[in-house]
Structure 1
Amino acid sequence: MGGAGVSVSGEREDVPEPKSARAGRDLPAAIGVGVALGAAILVSLLTVRFVFIGIIAAAIVVGTIELAGALRRAANIRIALVPVLVGGQAMIWLAWPFGREGALTAFVLTVLACLLWRLRGGADGYLRDVGSSVFAAAYLPLFAAFAAMLVPPEDGVGRVLAFMIGVVASDTGGYIAGVLRGRHPMAPSISPKKTWEGFGGSLLAGVVAGSLTFSLMLDAQAWQGVLFGAAIVLTATLGDLMESLIKRDLGIKDMGNLLPGHGGLMDRLDSLLPSAVVSWLLLSAFVP
């Protein structure tokens, strides 16, 4: 799973890298990686769409390892990595045939496994480590399971594309408006370079994308797409801000360095994960 590789304001919240664009990143590398990720997703959807679930599962493995590594290095927090990885795969793959029941059952069993796994480490830091393990299990694989649940219906390709295009449009619109017009900080204490102008660009692009994908791909009403697009912009923005808070709390710039111009894969999943949940909820209501 991968977004456009840009934040709502179109700018990174930390120290710009050398030889980067005004957005504070290696723009050519970021665009190249974003195009490659998008092409891989599009090919999977247009050939055998269930391969997309495999892409989700692989991305969650990488993202979980990145998050666990960041927590360990920055705060000496040790999540129960094996239960979270194994349980996370169960959430995603059981969401395919069994829907919510499969994902939630796997999540509950994962929480239980995390409680038991951490027993051998003793009382010191038990609550901290278990709480972080449960957070990781919910934030990554449980949220991602809702993206997997978009695939099985006959119009699953359209559902996934509506979700992905909505997030990409939000990020791209925010990038352009933020770089060109960004003046007023949106959340200066969390992410100083995110601006209200960038958010306005995200909102405009998101609602246009939502109305078009709903009317052209899902045989739904344009007004439903407008609501969908606005909701995706909100969740993508909140997801980006939440990860900014996590990184500020840990005192790090990126979760990893896997993707040139982007940071870690977790830095691209931040807006997608909460948006997947809202996408599934709204699509289930608007296009049952």
Structure 2
Amino acid sequence: MSHLDPYGGEPRGWDRPDRPTALPWPEPDVEPAPWDRRPVPDRYAEPRGLTRPPADPYPEAYRDQPYDERPAGINGHRDPDDYPTAQLEPVRPDREPEPAPDPEPPRGRRARGRRRASADRPPTQPSRAGRNLPAAIAVGLGLGVGAILLPLFLYRPAFLVVVAAAVGVGVWEMARAVRRSGAHPPLVPLIAGGVLTVGLAWFAGPDALSLGLLVTVLGTMVWRLGDGPGGYQRDLTAATLIAVYVPFLGGFAALLAAVPDDGHLRVLVTLVAVVLSDTGGYAAGVAFGKHPMAPAISPKKSWEGFAGSVTAAALGSALLLWLLLDVAPWWGALFGLAVSVAAVLGDLAESMIKRDLGIKDMSNLLPGHGGLMDRLDSILFALPTAYLLLVVVAPVAG
């Protein structure tokens, strides 16, 4: 005996009819709910309210023409005027792009040291030596005539003031430059000791010059004790270098000028030899310079320029010492040769110091030259050389 189906009331078994049996609850995947028996739209039916674009009326006639040259309506599109991009110019790959306009130069103050160029006034071009040559010549002539020759020939004690002032400025520039390396040499004892060294050399001779150097170094050591032990050795080393390089070497100018009879002439022939060396080296280097002399220290110096330096100094000194000091020409040529070599070595020495410190000039005190030490570098090494040679070739009478 078969049991009754509690859900359908019909017998279960093989004699059940083939029609599906209704479920007591709605199944969304099988049968929609009675309250949601909305008609399902046919997804493949034609949408109401929309029309298909008309077919291309003449595709065969314009099939071989470029797309942008076909009339409106081709390929099932509407009139091109209906599109917002219809007014834009089509991109053609064969057209060269228009160059961008030059940017407008920034307004305001122009860089210092430069002037505005025009048709009547071209821009200033630096020389091959990297300097403003007219300004350098003007400043050099002003210093040579006004600060050296006039005091030297009119009132010689005034030349002592010039030497002392030059030593003070040189010490200040050197102390300011070495601070880039972390050293802080005391400035007051260096300047005071430098002026004292020059004065002792003028009044008491070579022995007093060495005494002035000793006093300067000792005074610097004592002065530096007040700042504590931090960096003492470094600061004292820098101070000793400055004391030897500027006041001690510069004191030989006072020794040359202090000669009673012809001290002014001895200073003159020394300075002329240095000027001839610099001028001859510059001219020969610009015209023939091809082989660098010391590229790691001074890339612009060449062996051709060095040959021009010694040649000009030797020829000029041979003539000048013969006329002014009554020295044989071959001794004069030897004097010029030695002074030129010393001047070149002095220039290289300061270039090495500046390159080690990472600076171009000691200061910007002199237009076209840089600092005063940039002009004294050759002279400082030439002064003791000239003093020693002149003691031999032109001994002082009495």
What letter is aligned with 2:347? D
Q: Is the 8 A contact 1:50 1:151 kept in 2?
A: no
- Alpha-carbon shift at residue 49 of structure 1 (Å): 2.3
Equivalence for 2:305: 198
Equivalence for 2:183: 77
Root-mean-square deviation over aligned CA pairs: 1.0
Within 5 Å, give how 1:45-194 maps onto structure 2.
Answer: 45-72=152-179, 74-153=180-259, 154-194=261-301
1:84-137 alpha-carbon deviations (Å, 9 max, x no partner): 111111110111120111111111111111111111222221111001101101
Match of 2:384 among 252, 277, 284: 277
Question: Whose helix proportion is higher, 1 or 2?
Answer: 1
- Alpha-carbon shift at residue 188 of structure 1 (Å): 0.8
| Structure 2 unaligned regions, length at least 5 | 1-123
The more displaced of 177-186 and 49-58 is: 49-58
Separation in 2, partners of 1:98, 1:111: 19
Equivalence for 1:6: none
What letter is aligned with 1:190? I
Separation in 1, partners of 2:391, 2:161: 22
- Alpha-carbon shift at residue 71 of structure 1 (Å): 1.2
Q: Is the 8 A contact 2:129 2:300 kept in 1?
A: no
Match of 1:260 among 367, 377, 389: 367
What letter is aligned with 2:211? T
Q: Is the 8 A contact 2:127 2:133 kept in 1?
A: yes
Q: Is the 8 A contact 1:90 1:103 kept in 2?
A: no
- Alpha-carbon shift at residue 76 of structure 1 (Å): 2.1
TM-score (norm 2): 0.67
Equivalence for 1:12: none
- Alpha-carbon shift at residue 230 of structure 1 (Å): 0.6
1:205-261 alpha-carbon deviations (Å, 9 max, x no partner): 110121112101111111111111011111100000000100011000100000001
Within 5 Å, give how 1:216-227 maps onto structure 2.
Answer: 216-227=323-334
Equivalence for 1:245: 352
Structure 1 residue ranges (4+ consecutive) displaced by more than 6 angstroms after TM superposition: none
Equivalence for 2:314: 207
Q: How many residues align?
A: 270
- Alpha-carbon shift at residue 20 of structure 1 (Å): 0.8
TM-score (norm 1): 0.91
Separation in 2, partners of 1:152, 1:24: 37
1:55-107 alpha-carbon deviations (Å, 9 max, x no partner): 111111111111111111x1121112111111111110111120111111111
Match of 1:31 among 120, 132, 137: 137
1:147-193 alpha-carbon deviations (Å, 9 max, x no partner): 11111221111100111001000000001111111111000111111
Within 5 Å, give how 1:2-17 maps onto structure 2.
Answer: none
Q: Which has the larger radius of gyration?
A: 2
Identity of aligned residues (%): 50
Higher relative contact order (CA 8 A, sep 6+): 1
Separation in 1, partners of 2:177, 2:213: 22
What letter is aligned with 2:125? K
